[in-house]
Chain A
Amino acid sequence: MWTSAASPTGPDSGELAERQSRGAKHVPPWFRLFRSELRLVFCRPRNLALLGVLAFIPVALGVLFKLSLSGPGGGGGPAFLNQVAGNGVFLGLAVLVLMLSLFLPLAVCVVAGDAIAGEASHGTLRGLLAVPAGRTRLLAVKLASIVLFALASCLLVVGVAVLMGVVLFPVGRVTLLSGTTVPLSVGLLRVLFVALYAAAAMVALGSIGLAASTLTVHPVGAIAAALVIVLASEIADAVPQLSAAHPFLPTHFWLSFDGLFRAPVDWSGVQHGLLSFAAYLLIFGAVAWARFTSADVAS
């Protein structure tokens, strides 16, 4: 929307010249805004509380698994749980599967739904636009901060869970789902890939939340809308009569990462998943952009 070409009547040519002459220490303007945005997201008490909860749940689940597995009648339960007793590394995966059903999407929806609607409801949006921050630029920075938050949440959950696994359970060479055994370092690397895959899923969800956020001035409404989409998608995904529509649901591929735990790696699930996430990111990113760059800001 904004052209970056210098205008002859451009602002503060003196200031610009001064900045260029200082050379090395110069902070690119987009980075200043991005840094400010990250501070806003990661220093906000509510978001810190969310991250605290995300870090605490793996600890609680680890202890719970330890107690239940040492008791009689182990086995059953969510995917990867059976492997946890043999190797603590699998706790990272078991916890991630559980957290992807509610807590991770919730945290991402809160941050994404708040992105624009939160600024509008605080009355800060009109200030930013009058600076002018640039609508496209502001939206891009918001999306980037959502990506970072999704990444941080997934790495935090998996990191804490693996740490708990190491503390509570035996750790060693990792036996994959296909039966082959790989060194611990390779196993950990694959867990990291799973965390990144989950983060990609959360980014796609984040773009849905961001689009919802441009449609309202009530952040709670945007957050709720994104969560309703998650729940509706999960319900539809569980109805066999709708199987034709399943691949198009936003949540369908969230858990399709077990191919990463085979040797050789089975990429098909992950590929389909990443394709689906990219499509959602593109579509809802475009919706958010189209809406935000044309909407009246009357809040």
Chain B
Amino acid sequence: MTSRDEVVFGRPARAAEDAPRAAANCALSSAGLSKRFRSGQLAVDSVDLAVPTGSVYGFLGPNGSGKTTTIRMLLGLIQPTAGSYEVLGLPMPDGLPYALPRVGSLVEGPGFHPYLSGRANLARQDAADRTANPATASARIDAALGRVGLLAAADKRYGAYSLGMKQRLAIATSLLRRRELVILDEPTNGLDPQGTREVRGLIRQIAADGTTVFLSSHLLAEVEQICTHVGVMRTGRLVFQGTLEELRGPGAGRVVVRTPRPELAAEILGGELQLADVRVSGLEVSAELGSILPETVCERLVKAGVPVAGLETPRRSLEEEFVQLTGEGFDVD
């Protein structure tokens, strides 16, 4: 266990002393989870997940960073080449038949039989579940279809569904029963804005029922709105894990002052207040805030006779944090 390049904002992504305590009330946890494909590529590289029970965990990362591969391992679809993991507190893979009925999942887009109706496809999923109650099957299927707004199209052939309808049906499979954990791999892929909103609402609703949600997504705005915790993947490694606040970092980064006398303001900021990286652009002056409070800056400026037209401490967006963690690169490998 090292924390080589995993230090983010001065905090190691995996704190050794945290690990056992975290695992105790984690819906999902892993230690050193790795997958090397037969091609030789290390798609997932010693990932230590800790998804707290009751959280909505956003699993972020650029294309090809290993999100889907990690999810496939968690669901027992592919075998890890190293490491161990637990689902709902049960060690895998031995606990698989006991844990997975309590887990709803959607992996890498919808997959159904095109010549069966949406309802028949759900019925098949339910029939495969040996712990589901057959007597309540049709009621549960209708309820799941209702929750994703597919009741009207339930008897249409799946092959005739639009992309969004297919995605909704895939989400419906994870709602066939009450779950303790729901794992969703890019659930809003292909949905229209209304559909995206509805799914977001649905996820909030699922979480409000006490279900832990593990959600992989590219939509940072979506993650910002619904997630409590975030994990960020980069080329197979988990480069950050923590709450959304921790990701945003401590306080505001910079202060921006709008004033008709920018030179004087810059002098005060850089000289008297000793702020770093003072920049002037037009009538705006900005600087690294450091440990100084914005109200102190304002007070000093006014005392020095700088007319302050506006003062801002813009928060860094999640997108900026994300890009800083995962790099600007567009090419995938």
Instruction: Please name all residues of chain B whose beta carbon is closer than 8 Å to the beta carbon of A2 when the two chains form the complex.
Output: 96-97
Stretch at the interface among B71-79, B200-208, B217-225: B71-79
Instruction: Please name all residues of chain B whose beta carbon is closer than 8 Å to the beta carbon of A22 when the two chains form the complex.
Output: 135
Q: Please report which residues of chain B, range 65-118, place their CB below 8 angstroms from some CB of chain A when the two chains form the complex.
A: 72, 75-79, 89-90, 95-98, 100-103, 105, 107-116
Contact count band on B: 35 or more
Are A19 and B125 CB-contacts (below 8 A) given A123-B109, A127-B111, A132-B101?
Answer: no
CB pair B77 A130 closer than 8 Å: yes
Q: Provide the bound-state CA to CA distance between A218 and B143, in Å.
A: 34
The answer to the question of B276 belonging to the interface, with a C-beta cut-off of 8 Å to chain A, is: no
Task: Name which residue of chain A comes closest to B173, CB basis.
Answer: A127
Interface residues of B: mostly helix, strand, loop or mixed? loop
Stretch at the interface among A33-41, A90-98, A189-197: A33-41
The answer to the question of B162 belonging to the interface, with a C-beta cut-off of 8 Å to chain A, is: no
Q: Can you list, as one digit per residue, whether each of A104-136 has a CB less than 8 Å from chain B (1) or not (0)? A: 000000000000000000111111111111100
CB pair B77 A298 closer than 8 Å: yes
Instruction: Give the shortest distance, in Å, between A137 (CB) and chain B (any CB).
Output: 8
Are A128 and B77 CB-contacts (below 8 A) given A9-B90, A32-B134?
Answer: no
User: B residues near A, CB below 8 A?
Assistant: 72, 75-79, 89-90, 95-98, 100-103, 105, 107-116, 120, 123-125, 127-135, 173, 177
CB pair A35 B127 closer than 8 Å: yes
Instruction: Please name all residues of chain A whose beta carbon is closer than 8 Å to the beta carbon of B123 when the two chains form the complex.
Output: 36
Stretch at the interface among A23-31, A172-180, A278-286: A23-31
Instruction: Give the shortest distance, in Å, between B224 (CB) and chain A (any CB).
Output: 28
CB pair A126 B130 closer than 8 Å: no
User: A residues near B, CB below 8 A?
Assistant: 2-3, 7, 9-12, 15-16, 18-19, 22, 25-27, 29-30, 32-33, 35-36, 39-40, 44-45, 122-134, 137-138, 294, 296-298
18 A-B pairs, CB-CB below 8 angstroms?
Answer: A2-B97, A7-B98, A12-B133, A12-B177, A15-B131, A19-B134, A25-B135, A29-B129, A32-B127, A36-B123, A36-B124, A122-B112, A123-B112, A124-B124, A126-B77, A126-B111, A130-B107, A131-B100
Instruction: Please name all residues of chain B whose beta carbon is closer than 8 Å to the beta carbon of A294 when the two chains form the complex.
Output: 79
Instruction: Give the shortest distance, in Å, between A295 (CB) and chain B (any CB).
Output: 9
CB pair A11 B101 closer than 8 Å: yes
Q: A7-B98, A10-B131, A36-B124 are in contact. List 7 more A-B contacts (CB 8 A).
A: A2-B97, A26-B134, A123-B110, A125-B111, A127-B112, A296-B72, A297-B78
Q: Which of A2, A27, A128, A130 has the most CB of B within 10 A?
A: A130
Identify B125's interface contact among A44, A122, A131, CB under 8 A.
Answer: A131
Instruction: Please name all residues of chain A whose beta carbon is closer than 8 Å to the beta carbon of B100 when the two chains form the complex.
Output: 130-132
CB pair A27 B77 closer than 8 Å: no
6 tightest CB-CB pairs across the interface, nearest first? A123-B111, A29-B130, A36-B127, A296-B78, A133-B128, A11-B101
Task: Name which residue of chain B comes closest to A28, CB basis.
Answer: B130
Instruction: Please name all residues of chain A whose beta carbon is closer than 8 Å to the beta carbon of B132 when the two chains form the complex.
Output: 12, 15
Identify A44's interface contact among B76, B112, B115, CB under 8 A.
Answer: B115
CB pair B98 A10 closer than 8 Å: yes
Instruction: Please name all residues of chain B whose beta carbon is closer than 8 Å to the beta carbon of A126 when the two chains form the complex.
Output: 72, 75, 77, 107-108, 111
